[in-house]
Structure 1
Amino acid sequence: MTTQPSSFYFPAPRSQKFCSQCATEISYITPPDDNRLRAVCQSCGAVHYQNPRNVVGVLPIFNDKILLCRRAISPRYNKWTLPAGFMELGETTAQGAMRETQEEAGAQIELGSLYTVIDVPHAEQVHFFYLAKVLSPELAPGPESLEARFFSPETIPWDELAFRTVITTLEHYLDDKKNGVFDSPHQKPPVHHYDVPLPMHDF
């Protein structure tokens, strides 16, 4: 029986209290020539902009089966997901997607084209998923995954999927597959752009 780890993995807090330049307490005001509240240092004048975070991942396919990972971390501990995670500094979205696949599933892949771009404004995130061909059935899940497994379309655990962005990406893939989008090796699949209208926990 698996137990939930005591340490959680969360991004740095979004609410900033002190200036990163001079350590003075900051205020949230609308600077001149701007149109929204910003974290502004009243001492040195530094403006600390907060921008959406990028989540990058893949939709990995091996012999018409989809690779999913069962999460070993919060949020959504014990739920299934596509290999994905926060993009690191100094890497492209494609590089980040490949890194996350290696870290979470230990899978060797050939990265394909960008497939879904999903805006998640309530979580201050944008999710990018690439198509990917898994080159070998050998998997070696890392510490962030309880297990990694291949699922046929008929056996996808829909009620146990972690995030709506994962559900949306899988739905697009199955619809495109049904409509013959992937039948021609010379036809590039479309990029699906979608907005998640509600907070991530409201499924």
Structure 2
Amino acid sequence: MHRHTIQHCRSCGTAVEYRVPDDGDTRERAVCPACGTIHYVNPLLVVGTVPYLGDRVLLCKRAIEPRHGKWTLPAGFMEMGETMVQGAARETAEEAGAEVEMGAFFSAMSIPRVGQVHVFYLARLLSDRFDPGQESLEARLFAEDEVPWDELAFTTVRETLKCFFADHRRGQYGVHDVDIA
């Protein structure tokens, strides 16, 4: 699927060849014929929050591609040197300018076709004032019947919101593991 994304060895610069390594691996990898370095392509981790205040959630309108102008939960790629919780809190501050109290792990959404896993944490909003960053056109609270369902940027956001509102109605939040085909 993500075959041939690596052209040259990151260690020595030699053109790689694609084959199953001799180390007992079972998958075709980019292997350097000069220095023997095996290059792995692994999924990226997207971390974010479901910021809520009572029965409303905070959504951000995207100011960037992909899906410019669509609504999303605050989330983005995890950075090196941070935990998932730290990354989710950072993305919430950057995209929404929201003050939150980080809560429990809420959902993991695997999207194999794009090589990503989206992870969301519950985050209780400490204020209803927001200061959206450069990546957001606006940040706004929505009750379930106000969510612009047809204007959501990503399937993972839609599925996470459906889980959140179902759990909220039940009065108990669970952990959700969803595969997006």
TM-score interval, smaller chain = over 0.9
Task: Assess if the C-alpha contact under 8 Å between 2:118 and 2:156 holds in 1.
Answer: yes
Are residue 31 (structure 1) and residue 15 (structure 2) matched?
A: no
The residue matched to 2:162 in structure 1 has which SS? helix
Structure 2 residue aligned with 1:171: 162
- Among 62, 83, 88, the alignment partner of 1:71 is 62
| Cα distance between partner residues in 1 of 2:149 and 2:37 | 46
Give the structure 2 partner of residue 3 of structure 1: none
Looking at structure 1, the residues matched to 169 and 55 of structure 2 have their Cα atoms a distance apart, in angstroms, of 12
Q: Which amino acid aligns with 2:95?
A: E
Residue number in structure 1 paired with 2:94:
103
Distance 2:171 2:89 in 1: 26
Identity of aligned residues (%): 51
After the TM superposition, which residues 4-43 of structure 1 pair with which residues of structure 2 at under 5 Å, given as runs?
A: 15-32=5-22, 33-43=24-34
User: Which letter does structure 1 place at the counterpart of 2:132?
Assistant: P
Tell whether 2:120 aligns with 1:136.
no
Equivalent residues of 2:62, 2:137 under 8 A apart: yes
By how many angstroms is 1:50 displaced? 1.1
Question: Which amino acid is 2:93 matched to?
Answer: Q
| TM-score normalised to structure 1 length | 0.85
1:151 alignment partner AA = F
1:41-64 Cα offsets, whole Å, 9 max, x none, are 011100011111100000000232
Task: Give the partner amino acid of 1:191.
Answer: V
Q: Which runs of 5+ in 2 are unaligned?
A: none
Look up the match of 1:193.
177
Q: Which amino acid aligns with 1:26?
A: V
Which residue pairs with 2:76 in the alignment? 85
Q: Is the Cα contact below 8 Å between 2:62 and 2:136 reproduced in 1?
A: yes
How far apart are the structure 2 equivalents of 1:156 and 1:128? 20
Q: Which runs of 5+ in 1 are unaligned?
A: 1-13, 182-188, 198-203
Please name the residue that 2:114 is paired with: 123
Letter in 2 for 1:57: G
Q: How many residues align?
A: 177
Matches within 5 A, 1:50-69: 50-69=41-60
> What is the one-letter code of the residue matched to 2:145?
E
CA distance in 1, matches of 2:170, 2:73: 22
Counterpart amino acid of 1:172? C
Residue 190 of structure 1 and its aligned partner are, at CA, apart by 1.7
CA distance in 2, matches of 1:63, 1:172: 16
Classify the secondary structure of the residue corresponding to 1:31.
Answer: coil
Task: Tell me how far apart the structure 1 counterparts of residues 88 and 146 of structure 2 sit (CA, whole Å).
Answer: 24
